[in-house]
Structure 1
Amino acid sequence: MTAEELPRVLQQLWGLEGPARPGPKPTFHISDIGAAAIKLADTAGLGAVSMSKVAAELGFTTMSLYRYVDSKDDLYVVMLEQAFGPPAPVDPEAGWRERITAWAVAFRDAIRRHPWVLQVPVLEPPLSPLQLEWMEHGLRAFEDTSLSPGDALSAMLLVNIYVRGAGALTGGMKPDVQESPEANQLYVQRLSMLADPDRYPTIAGNLRSRPAEDFDVDYDAGEFIFGLDTVLDGIETLIARRT
């Protein structure tokens, strides 16, 4: 395959542009278009992003935008590339769990900065430069383990799926629900009122057997790390079995 056979958006992101298109010389770089689209999404959600609104944000016509990106899906590729940015450096001296944990936390933090990324349709595996860097760093976490290349890829994807799922679960929650002990206590009070023991015996039993403060849920750190550690425990079992 030659560079000219790649989709045009990938040619631009990789700096492998094919022959110039007819017409005026481009005024903007593809990164300017991505930044304008991200600004719209950060402000009003992914639904606010359209070719016409991005063009207006940059001060030119919708048709002019098509000189840079062929479709809205291509625009999403650019947005994801810039929203995630480069991954944090991997400590080569750290163990695999520490390395993949740092990778997962950085991934979670990127989602928190731009929650709309979870709404972008995943049409194919990543091929843009920075997205491949994220893949490279995730795979590198398992390079000194007994996992085969296929197992390492599956393990990285499992962590990726967990982080995306955790982000989707909590991303829509109000900040005061995620961070306030008072909000947690109010939830417990309401749950105690509504969870009739005859209809919800397990919930009611759980409420009776635990102190109220035990229901304080730290979605941002405690719950995320608990789930991640549980996923990594399973991967560790696989590594031991492959050894």
Structure 2
Amino acid sequence: MDETDLPRVLQQLWGIEGPARPGPKPAFHLSDIGRAAIKLADAGGLAAVSMSKVAGELGFTTMSLYRYVDAKDDLYVVMLDYAFGDPPKPDPEQGWRERITAWAEAFRDGLREHPWILQIPVTEPPLSPHQLAWMESGLNAFDGTPLTPQDRLSAMILVNIYVRGTVQLTSNMLSSGDEARAADRLYNQRLRMLATPDRFPTIAAGVDQPDSVQELDVDFDADGFRDGLDTVLDGIQARITRKG
């Protein structure tokens, strides 16, 4: 495979010179397109992003964007690459658990800052510069362990799935304000009514007293996220122990 087999958007992100397109000299950089699209998505969600709106944000015609991206999927590739930026660098003084925890928390923070990322379908493994840098950082977190390269990849993907799933699941629960608190109280009232001790005793035990989800010790800003992550890491530790 040579560089010309790469999609044009990846050639540009990697700084590879593909075949020149006819027309005037480019008036802006791919990073400008990425920042404009991210601004729209941060304000109005992924549905707010279109080729015409991005072009309008830049002050150019829609057709001018096609000198950079061939389709909306290419635009998503650019958005993802610039939204995450550089990954955290593993600290060699820390153990693997601390390193992958820092990686997971940085990944979580990126998703919370740009929640529209979770709306972009994952149709193929990452190939853009920043996404591969994040992959490399996550794999390097397991330096010093007996995990094979494939073991590291499986472990990193497991942590990735946990982070994505947790952020997706709790995105609405983490909202604030009177409306959110009222919704929490209503949910718990309904849960008490439906999850009776005779039918769902374990659920009922957890909602017997608190008046809101926040009072159930489910703080996904800190303890809840870390507790779940520790459970995932305990499983990885078990594999490390077997390998050792």
Aligned counterparts of 2:56 and 2:40: Cα–Cα separation in 1: 11
8 Å Cα contact 2:217-2:224 kept in structure 1: no
8 Å Cα contact 2:41-2:49 kept in structure 1: yes
| Structure 1 residue 64 corresponds to structure 2 residue 69 | no
Aligned counterpart, 2:243? 242
Aligned counterparts of 2:183 and 2:49: Cα–Cα separation in 1: 33
TM-align CA RMSD: 2.3
Displacement of 1:164: 0.4
Aligned counterparts of 1:156 and 1:149: Cα–Cα separation in 2: 11
8 Å Cα contact 1:8-1:17 kept in structure 2: no
Aligned counterpart, 2:226? 225
Aligned counterpart, 2:2? 2
Q: Deviations over 1:38-89 (max 9, x none)?
A: 0110000001111111111111111111011011111001000011000112
8 Å Cα contact 1:185-1:216 kept in structure 2: no
Taking the TM superposition and a 5 Å limit, the aligned residue runs for 1:126-137 are: 126-137=126-137
| Structure 1 residue 33 corresponds to structure 2 residue 40 | no
Aligned counterparts of 1:134 and 1:75: Cα–Cα separation in 2: 20
Does the residue aligned with 2:20 lie in a helix, a strand or coil?
A: coil
Does the residue aligned with 1:144 lie in a helix, a strand or coil?
A: coil
Q: Deviations over 1:121-143 (max 9, x none)?
A: 11211111111110001000112
Aligned counterparts of 1:236 and 1:199: Cα–Cα separation in 2: 36
Aligned counterpart, 1:153? 153
Taking the TM superposition and a 5 Å limit, the aligned residue runs for 1:95-174 are: 95-173=95-173
Which AA in structure 2 matches 1:123? T
Displacement of 1:215: 1.6
Displacement of 1:201: 3.7
Residues 52-61 or 80-89, more deviating: 52-61
Which AA in structure 2 matches 1:232? L
Which AA in structure 2 matches 1:228? L
Displacement of 1:93: 1.5
Aligned counterparts of 1:119 and 1:206: Cα–Cα separation in 2: 31
Aligned counterpart, 1:49? 49
CA distance 1:73–1:181, shift in 2 (3 Å): closer
Q: Deviations over 1:210-241 (max 9, x none)?
A: 67796232121111111100000000001101
Aligned counterparts of 2:183 and 2:144: Cα–Cα separation in 1: 44
Aligned counterparts of 1:205 and 1:19: Cα–Cα separation in 2: 65
Aligned counterpart, 2:87? 87
Aligned counterparts of 2:201 and 2:242: Cα–Cα separation in 1: 39
Aligned counterparts of 2:210 and 2:171: Cα–Cα separation in 1: 27
Which AA in structure 1 matches 2:5? E
Which AA in structure 2 matches 1:75? L
Which AA in structure 2 matches 1:15? G
Equivalent residue pairs, number: 240
TM-score where L is the length of structure 1: 0.90
Does the residue aligned with 1:175 lie in a helix, a strand or coil?
A: coil
